[in-house]
Structure 1
Amino acid sequence: MDLRLLRYFVATADAGSATRAADLLHVTQPVLSRQLRQLEASLGVPLFAREGRRLRLTRAAEAFLPRARDLLSHADDLERAVGVLGAGRLEELHLAVPTTTLTDVLAPFLATLRADDPVAKVRELDPRGAVAAVRAGADLAIVTRPPGRALASRALAVLPVWAYVRADDPWADRGSADVRDLVTRPLVLLTDDLRPRPLLDTAAEEADVGYGDVLEVSNAQVAQALAASGRGIAVVSDDPRFGLVPLHIEAPSGPVRIRLYAAWDPHHHAAAALAGLAERLAAFCVERYGVEVAAR
């Protein structure tokens, strides 16, 4: 089907006369008439009946017109999409993000996007990691472990894992807590599928200590809420809530920290644009939390 002939047909149907349609299409009337006859010949049905100086759609043309409009609309959408692909641009940005990172890092970053940036579509990170998330359709995955060589990546930030205590806790003015002291207190810990927990486990193993009284939960905000209610010290990487006071956690090898990475398919049509967004997100983390979180 010749789309140019369809455009001539739709324009003529809308204009009601070949003369007016020819003017709108910037062609001569004989050229337009010849093209319309060619379309009629290819379809095998007449499309117009002449009534004085006006053209009337035949019954076949009335049935064909909405389908022609629909086909042209899809063709226009496809042409726009190809233009975006060819230019290495994104109209939509599909992100896979851990819940904590979404709340404290990504959502505030999305609020800074410009009108010419792609529209962000966010879903929870696949628990199997960055490769699985990208294979499932994510343009950009934000992860807390190095994504591996199969993907292009950018280290975004190095953020503390905090021990949160109430403002009336005896430790509230200490600024930090040694992991050997921390395990002697009641703790509200995340499950081991959430990154702060294995980081704390590693710190405890380095210090050759074990946990005492532990309450385990699967949500960082719930952990802080329980800490605020006096159930223990919450160990999470979230920003503070409920008036809690953050303490750095010190392990034998240094402060306990969580690393953030952005990962994407190096063969993505908009790989350069994704790398640019990752750079902007890294800069945003420094702006939000200070130069000390800069990934090196």
Structure 2
Amino acid sequence: MDLRLLRYFVATADAGSATRAAEVLHVTQPVLSRQLRQLEASLGVPLFAREGRRLRLTRTAEDLLPRARDLLAHADDLERAVGVLASGRLDELHLAVPSTTLTDVLAPFLATLGPEDPVAMVRELDPRGAVAAVRAGADLAIVTRPPARSLASRALAVLPVWAYVRADDPWAERGSVDVRDLVTRPLVLLTEDLRPRPLLDAAVEDAAVGYGDVLEVSNAQVAQALAASGRGIAVVSDDPRFGLVPLHIEAPAGRVRIRLYAAWDPQHHAAEALAGLAERLSAFCVERYGAEVAVR
């Protein structure tokens, strides 16, 4: 079906006369009349009945009109989508992000975006990782493990895993703590499915020591809340809360740190734009946390 003829039909129905419709469409009335007759011939039904100088829609045309409007609206949407795809730009940015990264890194970054940037749509990262997130429709996945080689990716930052103590704790002025000393104190640790925990586990194993009194939780903010209430030292990677003081954790292989990566489909129509956003996010991390988090 010729969409141009449908547009003539809708315009004529809206105008109520061929003369006014021709003016709106910037064609002559004879041309418009021929196009309408062609549409009627192709459909096999009459669309207009003439009443003096006005055109009245037939009952069939009244039934067809809302469907024609809907079809044209979908065609316009498709044309806009093709334009976006062809240009390599993004109107919406679908992000998959771990909860801690969303709160402390991504949300503050999104606040710096301007009206020319895509609208961000954020959801929780698929626990299976970057590949699953991208397959589920994420344009950009933020992860704490190196992404699969099938994805394009960029290392964003190297952030500390902190040991949080209360301001009145004897260690509050130390700035850092050796992992061998850390395990002698009651600890509030995240569960093993959250990245800071296996990083700490590896540091403890390298130091040839073991845990003592441990309380496990599945949320970093809850861990800090428990530390603030005196339940132990919280080991998490998020920003400080509840007046707690952060300590670097020293281990045989160096300070315990967590890496952030951005990953996306290399065949994405806006792959270049996604790479640019990842670059901006990396620069934002350095601006927010200092040069020591820069990827080297």
Report the TM range for the smaller structure's normalisation. Answer: over 0.9
Secondary structure (helix, strand or coil) at the match of 1:122 reads strand
Alignment partner, residue 177 of structure 2: 177
- Alignment gaps of 5+ in structure 1: none
Alignment partner, residue 273 of structure 1: 273
Alignment partner, residue 104 of structure 2: 104
Say yes or no: does 1:63 pair with 2:63.
yes
Say yes or no: does 1:125 pair with 2:129.
no
| CA-atom RMSD in angstroms | 0.7
Shift of 1:123: 1.0
d(CA) in 2 for partners of 1:271, 1:100: 26
Normalising by structure 2, report the TM-score.
0.99
d(CA) in 2 for partners of 1:49, 1:39: 14
Alignment partner, residue 230 of structure 1: 230
d(CA) in 2 for partners of 1:123, 1:19: 52
String of CA shifts for 1:68-94, please: whole Å, max 9, x gaps.
Answer: 000000000000001001111111111
Shift of 1:160: 0.3
Say yes or no: does 1:13 pair with 2:13.
yes
Alignment partner, residue 292 of structure 2: 292
Alignment partner, residue 155 of structure 2: 155
String of CA shifts for 1:40-79, please: whole Å, max 9, x gaps.
Answer: 1111111111111111111111111111000000000000
d(CA) in 2 for partners of 1:74, 1:136: 24
* Counterpart code for 2:121: K
d(CA) in 1 for partners of 2:253, 2:107: 32
d(CA) in 2 for partners of 1:195, 1:153: 19
d(CA) in 2 for partners of 1:258, 1:45: 69
Secondary structure (helix, strand or coil) at the match of 2:159 reads strand
Shift of 1:118: 1.3
Secondary structure (helix, strand or coil) at the match of 1:148 reads coil
Deviates more, 1:12-21 or 1:221-230: 12-21
d(CA) in 2 for partners of 1:37, 1:28: 15
Secondary structure (helix, strand or coil) at the match of 2:210 reads coil
d(CA) in 1 for partners of 2:152, 2:45: 56
d(CA) in 2 for partners of 1:169, 1:266: 49
* Counterpart code for 1:239: D
Say yes or no: does 1:27 pair with 2:27.
yes
Shift of 1:127: 1.1
Shift of 1:246: 0.3
d(CA) in 2 for partners of 1:41, 1:168: 88
d(CA) in 2 for partners of 1:207, 1:278: 35
* Counterpart code for 2:191: T
String of CA shifts for 1:109-129, please: whole Å, max 9, x gaps.
Answer: 111111121111111111111
Secondary structure (helix, strand or coil) at the match of 2:61 reads helix
Instruction: Give the share of equivalent positions with the same residue, in percent.
Output: 90
d(CA) in 1 for partners of 2:144, 2:263: 11
Secondary structure (helix, strand or coil) at the match of 1:246 reads strand
Secondary structure (helix, strand or coil) at the match of 1:141 reads strand
String of CA shifts for 1:224-277, please: whole Å, max 9, x gaps.
Answer: 000000000000000000000000000011111000000001011110010011
Segments of 4+ moved more than 6 angstroms: none
Shift of 1:148: 2.4
Alignment partner, residue 199 of structure 2: 199
String of CA shifts for 1:130-168, please: whole Å, max 9, x gaps.
Answer: 111111111100000110211100100000000000000
Alignment partner, residue 73 of structure 1: 73
d(CA) in 1 for partners of 2:7, 2:253: 70
Secondary structure (helix, strand or coil) at the match of 2:168 reads coil
Secondary structure (helix, strand or coil) at the match of 1:248 reads strand
* Counterpart code for 2:139: D
d(CA) in 1 for partners of 2:57, 2:137: 45
Alignment partner, residue 36 of structure 2: 36
